Amino acid sequence: MTSPSLCAPLLLAEKLSIILPAKNEAKGLALLLPKLGAAFPDAEIIVVNDGSTDNTPDICRQHGAECLNHPYSMGNGAAIKTGARQAGGTVLLFMDADGQHDPEDISRVLAKLSDGYDMVVGARAADTHASLGRRLANTLYNHFASYMTGRRIDDLTSGFRAARAKHFKRFLYLLPNGFSYPTTSTMAFFRSGLPVAYVPIRAKSRDGKSHIRLLHDGLRFLMIILKIGTLFSPMRFFLPLSFGLFGIASSYYGYTFATQHRFTNMSALLYMSAMLTFLIGILAELVSALHYKDAN
């Protein structure tokens, strides 16, 4: 079991709030809450019951955890936002309630946070992902997000993370209600110039059934990355597209000029598309700046 003394440099000066989104995770909570209570007796432990039909509220009462109830399932991200709004700690720690995240890793995450970082993410070892498909998808997400931010991102979708409350709460309006809150919060912190670090962890096999559908939620994750990418650094996204369209337009014009000796409507359309894409990128860059003008 993790010793509270390991986290003393951080917790002596700051209050810790541990937030657990839960949907029908009574079995996992019954095992996790006693461990958290023993390791962090002074921490605020908040379970957000996202429309569960099991005895999640009873488990919370038995182990002295605060339980916030959604009247129906609103999504993992919505549960995170509910917990963050209610939390009174200066440091927020998020972890899953299904037994995947080991409480013994918390001390290492908090110790890294005390080194001057504003967010620390538990990066899962590649062989601890639930399936080969998820492993490949997360590798794709990590590489794409690293390109967009210009920083190495070891695990974009990990739900095990700690953050300074004053910064995390500023970005709540950006977080979606679904499963992609880790993606959004990571990109927002990088865009704001807030230091982010990664600590390697090993995820365990979850208790119970996953609420993530690989194909459906994988496509949704990709759309969120594209959306947040345009919010983070729009020109990194739109400029290559603009250059690509310009290259296609020039190649097509060269072909039609050589074969037909004329400038076609398709060439004009491609050139206009390249120009409009570039202008959209500039506009998106200006809009993006508005989200983070008061980040510090």
Distant-in-sequence, close-in-space partners of 167: CB < 8 Å, separation ≥ 6: 118, 119, 189, 192, 194, 295
pLDDT in tens, 107-157: 999 999 999 999 999 998 876 655 566 677 778 878 888 887 788 889 988
For domain 4-229, the CATH superfamily is Spore Coat Polysaccharide Biosynthesis Protein SpsA; Chain A (3.90.550.10)
* Percent residues over pLDDT 70 in the chain: 82
11-20, 85-94, 125-134: least confident range: 125-134
Confidence band, pLDDT 50/70/90 cuts, at residue 8: very low
pTM for this structure? 0.79
pLDDT of residue 2: 46
Confidence band, pLDDT 50/70/90 cuts, at residue 6: very low
Question: Domain limits of the chain?
Answer: 4-229, 234-291
* Per-residue buried b or exposed e for 23-33, using 16+ beta carbons within 10 Å of the residue's own CB: bbbbbbbbebb
Distant-in-sequence, close-in-space partners of 83: CB < 8 Å, separation ≥ 6: 17, 19, 20, 21, 46, 48, 68, 94
11-15, 60-64, 145-149: least confident range: 11-15
